[in-house]
Structure 1
Amino acid sequence: MAPVASSSFENDLERIEILAATPVTSTALLERNLNCIYEQAAAARFDDYDVASIARVAPSVMYRLFDLRVGLREKLAHYEMLGLMTPAAIQGFRDVFRVLRYMSDMLGEIASIGPYSGDSGYLLRGFTGEENNTLINYAFYRDGRAVAFRSGDVILVRGRAHNSAAIARIGDVDSQFSHIGIVHIDDRGDHWMVESLIEDGAIINPLGKALDHDIVRAVLYRNRDADLAARAAKSIFDYVAASRVRGGKRILYDFSMRTDETRNLFCSKLVRLAFAQASGGRFVLPTYPTRIVCKNRDFLDRVGVATDMTFAPADIDMESSFDLVAEWQDYRETANVRLQDFTMDKLFDWMERYNYRFDETSAIRLVSVLGRFASHFSEGAKQTLSSVFPRVPANMPRKTVAVVAMLHKTAEPIYHELQRQNQQLVMETGVPMHGLDIFSALEAIRERCGNRIGYLVRNGSW
């Protein structure tokens, strides 16, 4: 969207909608249209428009952006049938989905802080709150605003922690999600989330508890084969439940990110296993896996990643056999996770471009050793000591505890500096920082810090 008067804002949006609706029969046209949508959306700056006008139309525009994404996703199967899903087209879809989400987030933020905002109240958990917190696919809309879950539904989420941002950005896809789980509804109608958490491994939680687990964004996906989805949910529920009973063998979190064995499970591998078990191995996720390509392997090696191809949570975004049913976001926190996303982008970029590495100090070594020691305490003791020692699983290597601690302590002050800049801009203009301005601020921080940025030290300056 080019900088123009506020009266033409919706005309600019229409240009994007026309591009998205244009029929294509060639890979070149598909790639071009996706690239144009991305470039126009990424260049949009809401301070180029009248902010009060934007706040008034924000709810309807947010739905138009959501419907645009739903419409693009519904074309995936058709483009697959035509053989148009080249690597460039796949990346184009991912980029468009990401930038349109960011646009919608910023509109929600503008509407919630401006004079036309309502009382959003306290958001108890995902898929609750005021009308614009949950956007629902019209094909699944029912009377009222409550989202009706179905057994086998898959929920994609993003948490508030820097570790969530790191998980979301660790592959070749700049994802906005860090976790995924599958819903099981038992014979009594109780709703459960079957998931694999870093600290607990494979576990079953009440769905309400899972959706109240410090999340900022949640998306509900539904497989078009209801019987397959229900079997997948029941199969993985029984599998994990058996591992949690006395005498059962716990399923630990898999830090390798490999998908070729199932002794331990990371979150999306648990969902993959559920559908593979239910289909007798005929339905295998993902269609478009995330590549982990990093010249500077130092961080990945310390985390324990042992593959160059994985099933990342956000890969479900590209599955044509799943419908996007509903999407929820907490607009009080979306700006914060956006700052975290961009901070993590730059930290990884600096590791690649300038050869920064994490420098483990004696203090970090002590924290990691205590964290490993605490991992053998009872769950009650871990919770009690969580403010002193890292709450880590028994199979998390000490070097992984250390690098996660260094990542957090490096990102935290950068994030808080960006947060102050963003809050100041919002107070002055009513509009949050644009992505280009965030990246510019991050580069200014790097130049100011020089060869040491938190626990990151430029190789050759040790």
Structure 2
Amino acid sequence: MILIHLRFLLPLFLTVLLNPVIESLASQPKNKPVSSPLLSGIEQVTKDLNNSKVFNPKTCPTYINNTTDYLFLQPADHFLPKAPEEIEYFKAHGTELIKKIFLIRVKLRELLQEYDKNNELSNECVLKMREGTQYARFTEEYLLEWLVHEKVVAFKDAPILGGDEPFVLRNPKFSELKLQAGDVMLIRGVSFVSAMIARIGDEEGNFSHMAIVAEDGQGGLHVVESLIQYGVIVTPLEKWRQAHDSRVALFRHPDMELSHRAARIAYDWSLTHPDYDFAMDDSNYDKVFCAEVIRYAYDKASNGALIVPKFRSHVSKFKGGPYPKSLGVTKDTLFTPYDIEVDPRFDFVAEGKYYPALRQVRMQDSILQSIYSWMIEKNYTFYGSASVTAQSYAGKAIRYLGFMKEDFPTYMPIETMQSVIQFQTIAELLEANLYAKEDAYYKAHGYLPSFQEMMVANDAYRREDCLHYQKKESSKFHSIFRGSSCN
């Protein structure tokens, strides 16, 4: 099933169920300090996930789908506290509520592992587990932003996965949060290329990058990853933790001996510096993209017994169009970084958020989601641009002279460079529009717009620009990116 409509409305995963559940909530005792869809929903979903008669391998797809279908139709303010007693309760218990939503994600992950162990895990359930996890994550972030704006909590800069609650949350199964050899980190970067990767698969996700905690011969810990600019590189762990990635989720294989072997193999391999694999082809290890580092390490450490991921993403939503071939991707399935979220062989340990970047990546996700949907549903495509072509060839030439190494490697295909520049040109225009819209929205409402509302704003901007182009007036981007009509 293609999730191109991205129904994860920012306000809140699994907070309200369809009519049968709503009726059930109405019959509950009235002795709670406040009544709100969020509070009731958290309690009901937590109860349901622990009741195998309600949530089980057979009901999994329908249960999650019905919930997200319902939520998709709700306005942005549907779940926000409104009455004074609600607002006060949310301020007093906001961190606790975020943790409870996080535990819903933890429970979904545990059920995924249980169903897989019992050979009861269907592809439909895996797909909906992905969707459910996304709703829950955005729910936490939406509530987190509200708490920050209300000055209930304050963000303090800290090393990756080293901050305080509610910015860093740990699975209670683990007594402490300490990075270990072989740990796999799922990361969301802060560039438009990151958003392109996070949305490239039919299934879509909240992450764009992966890395592994590697170990040298003296027991020192490092991070090995493959970056577009450099290929495979190694960085001392504590230096790497000073970065500011918007989200980092930590996964761990329970076999510590295997994890240590994978960590050593990753470190030794990083010293050979394989080039980046723009095709995202993990069928061989000649060139390597980020997720392929983890595949290689555990493949070699297990002598081929553990091939990551267990469930791959698909790339069919573009219907054979020029993209993502223009990016270099030609395979029908991919190991996208967020596939690790539904790989039951790894435990989910913790997740951290760099709050100052959340707004930006949320907008980037909505922008790339809009661009992709226009390509698929409205037949939008890129047209030749002398400016883009000139930028691409100039960038290639300058890189060969030793400049711009932070942006482009010398071996980056010119077609890939053109595709990235084309997307970034459109995305930056949409981002500037969204920043202005978000500021105005917050001043008018006192809270931030939902993901869906941002996509509505993107589409309004597209239609307006399209009409300018049709009238032969000055347009922002339709001269290089357009469809057959403005509808």
TM over 0.5: yes
The residue that corresponds to 1:96 in the other structure is 132
2:41 to 5, 9, 12: 12
What is the correspondence of 1:208-247 to structure 2 with a 5 Å cutoff? 208-241=238-271, 243=272
- Compute the displacement of 1:194 (Å): 0.6
What is the correspondence of 1:146-185 to structure 2 with a 5 Å cutoff? 147-185=177-215
1:89-144 deviations in whole A, cap 9, x for unaligned? 111000000011001011111111104233x23x24422333211101111133xx
**Pair 1:373 & 2:397 matched:** yes
Alpha-carbon separation, structure 1, partners of 2:458 and 2:51: 37
**Pair 1:313 & 2:337 matched:** yes
Code of the residue aligned with 2:366 in structure 1: it is: F
1:230-250 deviations in whole A, cap 9, x for unaligned? 101101211221x1xxxxxx4
> Measured at CA, do residues 187 and 261 of structure 1 come closer, stay the same or move farther in structure 2, by a change above 3 Å?
closer
Code of the residue aligned with 2:382 in structure 1: it is: F
Alpha-carbon separation, structure 1, partners of 2:221 and 2:121: 36
Other structure's SS at 1:7 match: coil
1:8-46 deviations in whole A, cap 9, x for unaligned? 231122122223223158644121222234345554844
Other structure's SS at 2:311 match: coil
Other structure's SS at 2:153 match: coil
The residue that corresponds to 2:311 in the other structure is 288
Percentage of pairs with the same residue:
25
What is the correspondence of 1:296-445 to structure 2 with a 5 Å cutoff? 296-378=320-402, 381-382=403-404, 391-445=407-461
**Pair 1:49 & 2:83 matched:** no
Alpha-carbon separation, structure 1, partners of 2:131 and 2:345: 20
Gaps of 5+ in 2: 1-14, 17-21, 27-32, 470-475
**Pair 1:190 & 2:220 matched:** yes
2:298 to 256, 269, 275: 275
> Measured at CA, do residues 308 and 128 of structure 1 come closer, stay the same or move farther in structure 2, by a change above 3 Å?
same
Gaps of 5+ in 1: 244-249
1:131 to 154, 158, 165: 165
Tell me the C-alpha RMSD between the 2 structures.
Answer: 2.4
1:348-385 deviations in whole A, cap 9, x for unaligned? 1101111111123111111101111133244xx435xx
Code of the residue aligned with 1:133 in structure 2: it is: F
1:21 to 29, 32, 50: 50
Alpha-carbon separation, structure 2, partners of 1:135 and 1:26: 26
> Measured at CA, do residues 15 and 340 of structure 1 come closer, stay the same or move farther in structure 2, by a change above 3 Å?
same
CA contact (8 A) 2:170 2:349 kept: yes
CA contact (8 A) 1:56 1:111 kept: no
What is the correspondence of 1:69-80 to structure 2 with a 5 Å cutoff? 69-80=105-116
The residue that corresponds to 2:231 in the other structure is 201
Other structure's SS at 1:375 match: helix
Alpha-carbon separation, structure 2, partners of 1:419 and 1:16: 34
> Measured at CA, do residues 382 and 460 of structure 1 come closer, stay the same or move farther in structure 2, by a change above 3 Å?
same
Code of the residue aligned with 2:303 in structure 1: it is: G
Q: Paired residues, what number?
A: 440
CA contact (8 A) 2:217 2:264 kept: no
Alpha-carbon separation, structure 2, partners of 1:175 and 1:297: 21
Other structure's SS at 1:355 match: coil
- Compute the displacement of 1:157 (Å): 0.4
> Measured at CA, do residues 372 and 97 of structure 1 come closer, stay the same or move farther in structure 2, by a change above 3 Å?
same
CA contact (8 A) 2:195 2:361 kept: yes
Moved more, 223-232 or 3-12: 3-12
TM-score by structure 1 length?
0.89
